[in-house]
């Protein structure tokens, strides 16, 4: 009875409050629905571009088409994928500066994405392709330290090893080739690392020699009769 009396005294306020809650719920539902529909539309637009290139047999995708999706559907998941595809298309066309710009854009706008590691790797590869090996080496090393379990790390190590080899640092290259060979023993990356390791050891036989003072001879215990 006390609650009834309290509600009766505040009936008008309760009606307005309930209407406000209902209105907020409707707005939230509309926003979520609109966002979901926008994501579906963006994904469909991205699929059409990819499918059109496959049907035509054109292996070179047009980055401008992907960037249209980014402009039309900013912030969507499909837009993020479009940024990466545009970067890859630029790189395939040897436009390394433009590719780097798009990879860096992805890292700015989609830093929480699980694909951020791939974008960071893309930036390093672009720097490498431009001959900016010092910056590329730093990026590769940073990826190895911060993302040691990412799937692309064997490729990162392989890229860095090739830089070390070109800089006449065979011991550093050897270590990385061996790590990649062990980690990707049955993959193409591991096979390439193994091949390069064998060639490196043939060019630098001192790398395969045991350290000074270490031999493979059995140890003879003279204290035993």
Return the number of other C-beta atoms located less than 10 Å from residue 50's C-beta. 15
User: For the segment 51-99, what is each residue's pLDDT rounded down to a tens digit?
Assistant: 766 665 566 788 999 999 999 998 888 999 999 999 999 999 999 999 9
Angstrom distance (rounded) from CA 190 to CA 207: 20
Token pair belonging to 212: 């000074």
The confidence score (pLDDT) of residue 219 equals 43
Q: What is the DSSP letter of 73?
A: S
Nearest to 144 by CA among 185, 103, 183: 183
Residue 40 contacts by C-beta under 8 Å, 6 or more apart in sequence? none
What rounded mean pLDDT belongs to the chain? 82
Angstrom distance (rounded) from CA 121 to CA 143: 7
Q: Cα–Cα–Cα angle for 61, 56, 99, nearest 5°?
A: 5
State residue 193 phi and psi, 5-degree precision: -65, -40
Is the separation of the CB atoms in 167 and 141 below 8 Å?
no
Would the pTM count as exceeding 0.85?
no
Residue given tokens 């209105």 in the structure block: 23
Is the separation of the CB atoms in 124 and 140 below 8 Å?
yes
* % of the chain at pLDDT higher than 70: 73
* % of the chain at pLDDT higher than 90: 58
Please list the residue range(s) of the chain that carry CATH number 1.25.40.10: 58-132
Q: Name the burial class of residue 215, with classes exposed (0-12), middle (13-18) and buried (19+) by CB atoms within 10 angstroms of its CB.
A: exposed
Angstrom distance (rounded) from CA 216 to CA 105: 55
User: Which CATH code is given to the segment(s) 58-132?
Assistant: 1.25.40.10
User: For the segment 135-152, what is each residue's pLDDT rounded down to a tens digit?
Assistant: 999 999 999 999 999 999
Query: Read out DSSP for 160-195?
Result: HHHHHHHTT-HHHHHHHHHHHHHHTTTSHHHHHHHH
Of 28 and 208, the structure prediction assigns the larger pLDDT to 208
Is the separation of the CB atoms in 137 and 167 below 8 Å?
no
The confidence score (pLDDT) of residue 47 equals 76
Is pLDDT at 21 greater than 90 in this prediction? no
């Amino acid at each position: 009875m006390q609650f009834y009396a309290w509600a009766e005294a505040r009936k008008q306020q309760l009606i307005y409050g309930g209407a406000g809650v209902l209105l907020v719920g409707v707005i939230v539902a509309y926003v979520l629905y609109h966002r979901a529909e926008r994501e579906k539309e963006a994904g469909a637009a991205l699929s059409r571009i990819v499918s059109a290139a496959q049907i035509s047999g054109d292996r070179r995708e047009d980055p401008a088409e992907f960037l249209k999706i980014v402009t039309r559907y900013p912030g969507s998941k499909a837009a993020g994928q479009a940024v990466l595809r545009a970067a890859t298309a630029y790189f395939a066309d040897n436009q390394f500066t433009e590719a780097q710009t798009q990879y860096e854009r992805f890292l700015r706008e989609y830093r929480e994405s699980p694909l951020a590691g791939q974008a960071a790797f893309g930036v390093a590869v672009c720097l490498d392709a431009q001959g900016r090996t010092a910056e590329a080496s730093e990026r590769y090393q940073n990826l190895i330290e911060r993302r040691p379990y990412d799937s692309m790390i064997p490729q990162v190590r392989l890229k860095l090893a090739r830089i070390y080899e070109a800089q006449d640092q065979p011991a550093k290259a050897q270590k990385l080739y061996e790590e990649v060979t062990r980690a990707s023993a049955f993959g193409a990356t591991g096979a390439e690392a193994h091949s390069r390791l064998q060639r490196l050891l043939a060019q630098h036989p001192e790398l395969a020699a045991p350290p000074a003072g270490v031999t493979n001879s059995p140890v003879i215990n003279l204290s035993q009769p």
